[in-house]
Homo-oligomer: A and B are copies of this chain.
Amino acid sequence: MNNKYLKIYNELAKQIETGEIKPKSQLPSENRLSKEYDLSRGTVRKALDLLVQNGYIQKVQGKGSIVLDINKFDFPVSGVVSFKELSQKLGQDSKTILLELDILQGDEFLMEELHLDKEDEVWKLVRVREIGGQKIILDKDYLKRDAVPLLTKEICEDSIYEYIEGELDLKISFAKKLISVEEPTQEDKDSLDLAGYNVVVVVKSYVYLEDATLFQYTESRHRPDKFRFVDFARRRH
Contacts from A to B (Cβ < 8 Å): 53-55, 58, 60, 63, 66, 68, 72-73, 75, 78-80, 171-181, 197-199, 201, 206, 208, 210-212, 224-225, 227-237
Contact = CB atoms under 8 A, between A and B. Distances in A.
A58 B212 CA distance: 6
Nearest to A233: B79
A58 B209 CA distance: 10
Given A68-B212, A181-B201, A174 B55 contact: yes
7 contacts: A58-B212, A60-B211, A176-B232, A177-B233, A178-B228, A178-B230, A197-B198
Given A176-B230, A179-B231, A181-B181, 20 more contacts: A53-B53, A55-B174, A55-B176, A58-B173, A60-B210, A60-B212, A66-B211, A73-B176, A79-B234, A79-B236, A80-B235, A171-B237, A174-B234, A176-B232, A178-B231, A179-B229, A179-B230, A181-B201, A197-B198, A198-B198
A140 B213 CA distance: 41
Nearest to A207: B235
A89 to B, nearest CB: 14
A84 to B, nearest CB: 15
Q: Which of A53, A178, A197, A232 has the most CB of B within 10 A?
A: A178
A232 B174 contact: yes
A208 B54 CA distance: 15
Contacts of A201: 181
A208 B79 contact: no
Contact of A58 (B53, B208, B234, B237): B208
A234 B178 contact: no
Nearest to A161: B235
A234 to B, nearest CB: 5
Contacts of A197: 198-199
Contact of A54 (B80, B227, B236): B236
Contacts of A173: 58, 234-235
